[in-house]
Amino acid sequence: MADFDEIRVPSSLRELEALILQLYQPGASQTVAKTQEVLQKLQRSPEGWQLANSLLGSKVESVRFFGALTFIVKLNTDSESLGEDDAKDLLQTLLGWLVRSIDGHEGPLVMRKLCSTLVVYFLQFSDSWTRCVKHLMCCLSDGHATFYSAVEEAAETSQLIENISDEKATIILWFASSLVEEVGKTDSSSMKQHKFHRRVAPNADDIVPLMGKYISNPSQGIDIKVRQEAMRCFQAWVSYSHRAFIDDNIILDPLQSLSNPAIMSLLNDDLYETAVELFSDVLENYSKFLRKDDFNLLYSLFGSSWAQQKYERLINGDYDFDSVQFGLFMLAFGDATIGDLIKQVNEDPQCERLLSALCGLLGAEGFAVHEDKIFVPALEFWSTFVETMLDFSYSQPGESPSWLEGSIRHVIQAIHKCWKKMQFPPPHIFRSWDSVDRIGFKDARRDVGDLLENVYLVTGIQILNIFIDLSRLSISAGNWTELEASLYCISRCTDCLANDSGGDEYLQKVFEPSLFSVLANPQTEIPVQTMKTFLTLFSDYAAYFARHTDILPAALNIAFGSIGSQPLAKSASSAIVMLCSECRGVLIPELSSFIQHLSNTNRAALTGSVKESILQGIASIIQALPTDGSKVLPLDQLLNFVEAEVQDCLHLISSEDMPTANLPGSSNNYIAAAELGHTALSCLAAIAKGMQTRTDKPVNLDEKTLSHFWNGGEGSAIQQRILSIISRIFDVLHSRGEIVEASCYVFRNGFVELEPGPFVFPLRSIAQFLVKCGPSTPQLGTVIKTACSLITSHRSDEPINEVVNALLNWVAQLLQNLEPNNDPEIAQNGVDFLYRLIPSHIKNLLNYPSSSLEFLFIFSLKALTGNNPLPKFSAVEFWSAFVSLQHLESDLQEAIDNALQQLGPMLAKALIFNIGGNAARSELDKLSETLKRLVIRQARSKSWLEAALLGDDFPSDKVSVTERTAFLQRVISLRGARGTNQVVREFWLASRGSNFAYAS
């Protein structure tokens, strides 16, 4: 044997034992690793069988454990070397050691490992050891290892059990549990190949009587530990039976005979934990296992004093593990019987009582999530309950079903409980929670909102009356926390009310003068959260204010009045945007006063996001003005506000004591200037967004003559001013990524417009800005992406060829000294730009100077074979589009065909490089699309792919020439059909040397 660095391979059993003991001693990780390496090689050696046998005879427990482990290693790695007689002898050896270990009162460490060894033996030789449980019973009953053939002549299982002690019964239960647990982990293909389900099933007849002896018999004389093992074994077998039912439609009927006594085990404190976990899982995932009498027993159990005590402890705030488990058990039972609970609530008192109890779980003591651990699971149950009601209702069109009223009654009770539970704790308490609990509480509130939306579909608009009445009571009592909860619930009905013609009648009750007067009263101290939710109502129901303009001023006054409060500023500004946008036509008479109010506002007192929202809101009113000419003055006034930010920015930059203003400074002045510049550009973008034409306004797409008011008439001065603002900020702060990004965002707001406007700039102006950005510009990927958007959004009759050529030349220069993997964002967007040229601007691409065009093609091929998925996906889309170009003008088609004559073999080679094992799994479908396009569109594709597959540089040595040829034939014969994707996936797996579905 070879030497392993500092650790000598043992030459005797004593040395081997010493090395094993060394493995289990504390030591340096390097020493442990080397020790483990030596021992593993010994385990896998031909002598491993004998070593395992010898080690089990050691006087040291850890050595015996290692001996059993060695048997497992050999079975997993070398079982195929065993003949039929060898396998039988091995089984006798293992059973012999198990019997001797029991006689020697071996500890659980080794005994469990020996049981695991026998399970591994079953997995390898299940066809010759099918009745493994009964065979093990025979051996332990007789006190020695009997041959498997003796099982046929053995006594009945019930008789064997009489001769088996509690100690031996525990061993059999361990083995039986491990058997189904390990078989249950087997993948589906192995399960079918070895027919494991069919071979495990007969053992149920043998293990059930043994489990029944301890589960069904509550005798005081039985060791409780054995009863616990019997329950765990039953749990394992029931869990396995679910898998057997799914895979093979096998129902292990004998197990069902134990369900009743197992249910009664819930009353035993020592068995409760296992039993409640078992039946919670069965009810949730495999309720078909339980019979009608099992459900009846569970119903009576939930009505017992035992259950009532546990329930009372839970809802009174006892959230210990056992208590919460009981609540989850109740909910699982509710899930399993949900159909009966809905349909029989008016007829069955048991259903009525259970639903009331399940509703009570929503009102347990303590704040949800932070203290109350049952609220969220209970909320999930009631969400399922309402969804099931909807399903039943839709399946019974016509008159309301008889059960509906009773079920709705319980749902309304649940909603009242949720309303109470979702109320925010006092701010100082909420702030004291950790972030996980705070997020969880807010998530629970959102889940309540989702429940309300479904309840609305069941009850209709009347559900709003609950929260309207609650809000009125809260206002009268000055209970702002309850008011907030009511307003939140109303806000979650927005989508439902939008489609309900009677919505306004109910909203009038919400937006009553009393609500506005209370919340607008400066003498009343309203909590922040309540005001936030109230402001959210303005945003959610902005369309209502457009129909009821009499209360619009009050809403806007509250929104504008809240902007000065930092905690409310975000909600208030969102409300202003939505109200101005929805009510833009109504607010035109107020436009001048809005602008005057803005002019009088202290800019320094507003945050950047608030400024943006106010400007966007005012801009949306300007957009509603009837003529372009009427928009110029108010828009110019808005730009004055932005211009003030620009002047402050430039003043700070000019005060910097630097050699050049283009260098990024770290002084406070420079940082403040950058923030001002970013705010100015963001405000411009907000104005641009507000000025966008409403999507519900009809657009005449056939109109050939578009107005030149904004880029050639009176409005051109506005455009030039906007471009000047962008340019001046960019010129002094172009080294800042956020400035580059914000500048691009201003331009991109104009790309979505279908009609001319102040932010729909001439193509040449946008291109001039873009090409100013060079390799050192931060966020260059965003700039190139803006160029991509410019190309694809072009709809007008404005000539674009010159712009396309300029941008193509700029992109090519940016990519010149770049490798796709070095800067994937730039590479991705660069290749994406080429893709956007197809098909409308393919002539511009093909007329590009040949040497530069060749570089662009080669760069995109490099991106296709690179390691980064982003450039690769862009390259895949480009080549899929390029090889698909057909039926163009003759000179263009000829140029494309000539290019593919040179590029086709290179593209095929790049695809085969990926498909031959170098691609990631997630990339295969996209690569398959390019391969299919190539095969469909290009007659020469077969020869190109053949050269790539059979060439010396094929990337994998795992597939033969024959396999590669077969792959090509299948791909060509499929002619781009969907089956190509699966063929590619299989070839990729083979090329990687992986024979299973999720290898990577």
pLDDT in tens, 516-527: 988 888 888 899
The reported pLDDT for the residue numbered 28 is: 53
Calculate Rg over the CA atoms of the chain: 38
The string of pLDDT tens digits covering residues 357-401 is: 999 999 999 999 999 999 999 999 999 999 999 999 887 777 788
Taking all residues of the chain, what is their mean pLDDT, rounded to a whole number?
90
Same domain, yes or no: 837 and 910: no
Query: Are residues 878 and 903 located together in one domain of the fold?
Result: no
Residue 633 shares a structural domain with residue 757: yes
Q: Tell whether 636 is covered by a domain.
A: yes
Mean pLDDT of all residues in 29-55: 84
pLDDT band (50, 70, 90) for residue 960 = very high
Q: Are 924 and 866 in a shared domain? A: no
Q: What is the pLDDT of residue 334?
A: 97
Please tell me the pTM assigned to this model: 0.81
Q: Is the pLDDT of residue 61 over 80?
A: yes
Q: Tell me, yes or no, whether 740 and 787 share the same domain.
A: no
Task: Tell me the CA distances in angstroms from 220 to 148, 167, 563, 601, one per residue in order.
Answer: 36, 17, 73, 84
pLDDT at residue 951, as a whole number: 92
One domain for residues 755 and 632: yes
Which tens digit of pLDDT belongs to each residue from 709-720? Answer: 998 888 999 999
Task: Write out pLDDT tens, residues 490-510.
Answer: 999 988 887 777 888 999 999
CA distance 70 to 49: 8
997 in a structural domain: yes
Percent of the chain's residues with pLDDT above 70? 94
CA angle 277, 168, 142 (to 5 degrees): 145
> Tokens 């039976």 — which residue?
241
- For residues 783 and 905, membership in a common domain is answered with no
SS3 (DSSP) at 84: helix
| Digit-coded pLDDT (tens) for 332-352 | 999 999 999 999 999 999 999
Q: Is the pLDDT confidence value at 674 over 50?
A: yes
Alpha-carbon distance of 851 to 816, in angstroms, equals 12
Higher pLDDT, 971 or 252: 971
Structure tokens at 511: 């937006």
What is the predicted pLDDT for the residue at 24?
A: 77
- Give the CB-side neighbour count of residue 514, counting CA atoms within 13 A: 12
pLDDT digits (tens, 9 = 90+) for 424-481: 999 999 999 999 999 999 999 999 999 999 999 999 888 999 999 999 999 999 999 9
**End residue of a domain, out of 761, 777, 794:** 761
Range scoring the smallest mean pLDDT among 209-213, 654-658, 914-918? 654-658
Structure-model confidence comparison of residues 620 and 561, the more confident one: 620
E strands present in 761-918:
none
DSSP notation for 397-414: -SSPPTTHHHHHHHHHHH
pLDDT at position 656 over 80: no
Q: Which domain holds residue 819?
A: 762-883
Paired tokens of 329: 């058990």
Q: Is residue 2 part of a domain?
A: no
What is the model's pLDDT at position 697?
60
pLDDT band for 110, please (50, 70, 90 cuts): very high
The confidence score (pLDDT) of residue 666 equals 56
Residues 860 and 908 reside in one and the same domain: no
Give the lowest-confidence range in 16-30, 479-493, 656-670.
656-670
Q: Output 934 or 754, whichever has higher pLDDT.
A: 934
Tokens of 412: 């309304």
Domain shared by 861 and 923, yes or no: no
Side-chain half-sphere exposure of 687, counting CA atoms within 13 A: 28
Per-residue model confidence as pLDDT tens digits over 526-537: 999 999 999 999
Residue type, 254: P
What local confidence, expressed as pLDDT, does residue 746 receive? 97
Residue 818 CA to residue 827 CA, distance in Å, equals: 8
8 Å CB contact between 288 and 245: yes
Specify the pLDDT at position 566: 87
Helix, strand, or coil (residue 691): coil
Least confident range from 181-190, 256-265, 605-614: namely 181-190
Total domains, the chain: 3
- Lowest mean pLDDT, pick from 107-121, 508-522, 648-662: 648-662
Distances (CA, A) of 119 to 76, 86, 113, 273, 741: 11, 17, 10, 26, 62
- The answer to whether residues 561 and 538 touch, using CB atoms and an 8 Å cutoff, is no
Q: Read off the pLDDT of residues 811-845 as tens digits, 9 standing for 90 and up.
A: 999 999 898 888 999 999 999 999 999 999 999 99
- The three-state secondary structure class of 165 is coil
Q: How many CB atoms lie within 10 A of CB 799?
A: 10
Nearest to 924 by CA among 996, 822, 1000: 1000
Rounded to an integer, the average pLDDT of 415-430 is 96
Higher-pLDDT residue of 867 and 501 is 867
Tokens of 128: 């010759």
For the cut 70, the answer to whether the pLDDT of residue 798 exceeds it is yes
Q: Is residue 282 part of a domain?
A: no
| Most confident option among 146-160, 621-635, 986-1000 | 621-635
User: Does residue 929 belong to any structural domain of this protein?
Assistant: yes
Over residues 161-165, mean pLDDT: 91
pLDDT digits (tens, 9 = 90+) for 716-752: 999 999 999 999 999 999 999 999 999 999 999 999 9
Domain-embedded: residue 455: no
593 pLDDT exceeds 60? yes
Could you tell me if 673 and 729 lie in one domain?
A: yes
**Residue 346, in any domain of the structure:** no
Q: What value, to the nearest 5°, has the Cα angle with vertex 482 and ends 476 and 483?
A: 60
User: Domain end: 834, 851, 883, which one?
Assistant: 883
| Predicted local distance difference test score (pLDDT) of residue 221 | 65
Residue 599 CB neighbours (<10 A): 13
- Does the N-terminal peptide bond of residue 839 adopt cis geometry, omega within 30 degrees of 0? yes
- Cβ pair 157, 203 in contact under 8 A: no
Mark whether 781 and 821 lie in a shared domain: yes
Same domain, 664 and 730: yes
- The residues, ordered by sequence, that sit 6+ positions from 629 with a Cβ below 8 Å of its Cβ are 709, 714, 715
790: domain CATH number is 1.25.40
832 lies in a domain? Answer: yes
Helix (H/G/I), strand (E/B), else coil: 500: coil
Range in 401-410, 691-700, 881-890 the model is least confident about: 691-700
